[in-house]
């Protein structure tokens, strides 16, 4: 099967596809031939889609599920630097949520965008678990507290913080998931050397995309820490065999609206 399909009527033989290919496997066109990938090099294709995305005449099609090709409408995706700056600077960690659930189809839209996040070698190792039931989110928070109880007075680097968190939980305050109705958990293969970085990149996409849908997020660090070693929590999450939790994020509709942008430390850059 050919890796790339080229429309000879649209191809201008500009050579961009050959130059842009990260694996350098596309033989350039000449007067008599179109760009092509020979059988020897075909196995080196990362399926990244650079060749298709950068083709100015849209003559080239990566032959991976070609029926799913997405056309970009004129002007779509354009955003001014100023608007993008305000959008990102407005982003806040949300710790107060409405009880209203986020519909599954909306969560699916956010995750569908997040799956376009960069990954090493275009490996796309990240898979997702969405905990949609608020009662199960509460159970996960409780199991995270149980993990903390097991480590009080231990050599764990955070053991000194746990008694205060446990006390707050026992007093009725959800200091783990902050009453969020939902959790999203990114999980990765056990033995993948760089998948943990890929997962953080993908979760960052989720974190950035969510506010556009009216959703607030907060990184669930305590849940992620417990999930790295506490078997009862992993059992509750249902992590597939051979995979592990990379990180987790709580989310839901924010109870309060953001009206300002707080200060940050001055930009620190070393130019070389």
177: nearest Cα among 243, 114, 238, 248: 248
Query: Residue 85: which pLDDT band, with cuts at 50, 70 and 90?
Result: very high
* pLDDT at site 269: 98
Tallying the residues shown for the chain, one arrives at 272
CATH 3.30.70.20 residue ranges for the chain: 1-71
Tens-digit pLDDT profile for residues 118-151: 999 999 999 999 999 999 999 999 999 999 999 9
* pLDDT at site 21: 96
* pLDDT at site 75: 87
Cβ neighbours around 235 below 10 Å, total: 10
Is the model's pLDDT at 1 over the cut of 90?
no
Distance CA 61, CA 171 (A): 59
Tens-digit pLDDT profile for residues 229-255: 999 999 999 999 999 999 999 999 999
- Options 3.40.109.10, 1.20.1260.10, 3.30.460.10, 3.30.1050.10; CATH for 92-252 is 3.40.109.10
Is the model's pLDDT at 31 over the cut of 90?
no
* Residue 265: burial class (beta carbons within 10 Å; 0-12, 13-18, 19+): exposed
Q: What is the pTM of this model?
A: 0.93
Q: How far is CA 118 from the centre of its chain?
A: 9
236: nearest Cα among 106, 147, 108: 147
**CATH class of segment(s) 1-71:** alpha beta
User: Span 213-227, mean pLDDT?
Assistant: 98
* pLDDT at site 250: 98
Joined tokens for residue 200 = 């953080």
Distance CA 182, CA 166 (A): 21
CATH 3.40.109.10 residue ranges for the chain: 92-252
Is the model's pLDDT at 71 over the cut of 90?
no
Tens-digit pLDDT profile for residues 32-43: 899 999 989 999
Cα dihedral sign for 105, 106, 109, 111? negative
Tens-digit pLDDT profile for residues 203-214: 999 999 999 999
Distance CA 86, CA 97 (A): 23
* Residue 143: burial class (beta carbons within 10 Å; 0-12, 13-18, 19+): buried
Distance CA 247, CA 145 (A): 17
* pLDDT at site 121: 93
Q: Are 116 and 208 in contact (CB under 8 A)?
A: no
């Amino acid at each position: 099967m050919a890796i790339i399909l080229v429309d000879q009527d649209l191809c201008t033989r500009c050579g961009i596809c050959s130059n842009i290919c990260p694996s350098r496997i596309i033989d350039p066109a000449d007067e008599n031939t179109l760009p092509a990938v020979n059988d020897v090099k075909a196995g080196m294709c990362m399926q990244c889609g650079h060749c298709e995305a950068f083709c100015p005449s849209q003559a080239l099609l990566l032959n991976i599920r070609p029926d799913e090709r997405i056309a970009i409408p004129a002007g779509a995706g354009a955003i001014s630097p100023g608007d993008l700056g305000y959008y990102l600077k407005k982003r806040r960690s949300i710790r107060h949520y409405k009880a209203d659930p986020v519909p599954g189809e909306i969560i699916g839209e956010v995750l569908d965008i997040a799956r376009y996040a960069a990954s090493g070698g275009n490996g796309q190792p990240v898979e997702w678990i969405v905990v949609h039931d608020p009662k199960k989110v509460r159970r996960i928070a409780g199991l995270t507290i149980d993990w903390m109880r097991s480590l009080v007075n231990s050599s764990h680097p955070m053991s000194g913080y746990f008694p205060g968190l446990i006390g707050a939980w026992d007093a009725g305050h959800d200091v783990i998931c902050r009453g969020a109705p939902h959790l999203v958990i990114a999980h990765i293969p056990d033995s993948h050397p760089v998948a943990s970085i890929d997962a953080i990149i993908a979760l960052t996409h989720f974190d950035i995309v969510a506010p556009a849908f009216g959703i607030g997020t907060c990184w669930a660090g305590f849940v992620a820490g417990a999930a790295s070693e506490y078997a009862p929590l992993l059992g509750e999450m249902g992590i597939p065999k051979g995979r592990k939790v990379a990180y987790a994020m709580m989310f839901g509709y924010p109870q309060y609206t953001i009206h300002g942008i707080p200060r940050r430390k001055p930009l620190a850059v070393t130019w070389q």
